[in-house]
């Protein structure tokens, strides 16, 4: 049986010299920053994907050990393992992995960990089980920044299928959010809506642009033409 120790050894062997310091700066690990205390080895994401595919058969008991690690790459690689496991699972196995993901959501504690996994596990499960989407609103009301991000980023799976209501409801809930990482996350999801239905996005902006954080608004209208961007940046809904 493969173990968490096997994965750790494989990651240690994939370190790129000089990347540790770069990654620690990029992910804001300094005192008072959102990633404070996060520890990096210096393994880039493509190498982590290789390791994750190799050890995709890792049991959930060993996955949990890696999620509890202070090392960022241990957590990201094991989350990628979960994505691969989920993709090849049947219905009961998918449910188990989805439940495991939510039960350990507070260990999914940086934006990259959320972004590469939440739509593919939480979003995919809730796309097929829409009556369970209440969980997104429980996450949105928690006191944890990363659970907030999981809630809204998971809706990317819905957006791809042309379902926008949950994205709009969550973005409305987060209009007053204090953290720029959530402004970016909401703006990104709104932009994804606009790529598929600009009229729907404009209707949301007409109702909320005056109250939106500037970063959220800028992300949301990134693909608009110059005239339309100026309308919204001047806080004037289009007539």
pLDDT band per the 50, 70, 90 thresholds, residue 238: very low
| Residue 237 in domain | yes
| Residue 13 in domain | yes
Q: What is the pLDDT of residue 29?
A: 83
Asked if 83 and 126 sit in the same domain, the reply is no
| Residue 114 in domain | no
Task: Supply the CATH number for residue 229's domain.
Answer: 1.25.10.90
pLDDT band per the 50, 70, 90 thresholds, residue 235: confident
Q: What is the pLDDT of residue 27?
A: 81
Is it the case that residue 197 has pLDDT exceeding 60?
A: yes
Instruction: Find the angle CA(17)-CA(65)-CA(120) to the nearest 5 degrees.
Output: 80
| Residue 74 in domain | yes
| Residue 229 in domain | yes
Asked if 70 and 126 sit in the same domain, the reply is no
Asked if 140 and 226 sit in the same domain, the reply is yes
Q: What is the DSSP letter of 16?
A: P
Q: What confidence tens digit (pLDDT) does each residue in 154-182 have?
A: 999 999 999 999 999 999 999 999 999 99
Q: What's the CA gap between 214 and 233, in Å, rounded?
A: 8
pLDDT band per the 50, 70, 90 thresholds, residue 140: very high
- For the entire predicted model, the pTM comes to 0.93
Domain that holds residue 48: 1-88
Q: What confidence tens digit (pLDDT) does each residue in 72-86 have?
A: 999 999 999 999 999
| Residue 107 in domain | no
| Residue 102 in domain | no
Asked if 42 and 84 sit in the same domain, the reply is yes
């Amino acid at each position: 049986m493969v173990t968490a120790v096997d994965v750790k050894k494989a990651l240690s062997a994939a370190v790129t010299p000089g990347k540790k310091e770069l990654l620690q700066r990029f992910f804001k690990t300094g005192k008072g920053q959102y990633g404070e205390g996060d520890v990096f080895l210096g393994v880039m994401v493509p190498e982590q994907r290789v390791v994750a595919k190799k050890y995709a058969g890792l049991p959930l008991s060993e996955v949990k050990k890696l999620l509890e690690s202070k090392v960022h790459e241990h957590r990201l690689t094991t989350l990628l393992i979960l994505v691969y496991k989920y993709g090849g699972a049947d219905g009961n196995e998918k449910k188990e992995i989805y439940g495991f993901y939510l039960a350990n959501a507070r260990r999914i504690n940086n934006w990259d960990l959320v972004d590469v996994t939440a739509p593919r596990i939480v979003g995919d499960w809730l796309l097929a089980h829409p009556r369970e989407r209440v969980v997104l609103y429980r996450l949105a009301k928690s006191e944890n920044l990363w659970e907030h991000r999981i809630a809204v980023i998971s809706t990317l799976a819905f957006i791809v299928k042309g379902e926008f209501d949950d994205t709009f409801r969550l973005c409305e809930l987060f209009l007053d959010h204090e953290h720029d990482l959530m402004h970016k996350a909401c703006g990104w999801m709104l932009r994804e809506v606009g790529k598929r239905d600009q009229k729907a996005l404009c209707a949301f902006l007409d109702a909320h642009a005056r109250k939106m954080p500037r970063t959220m608004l800028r992300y949301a209208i990134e693909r608009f033409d110059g005239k339309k961007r100026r309308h919204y940046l001047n806080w004037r809904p289009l007539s």
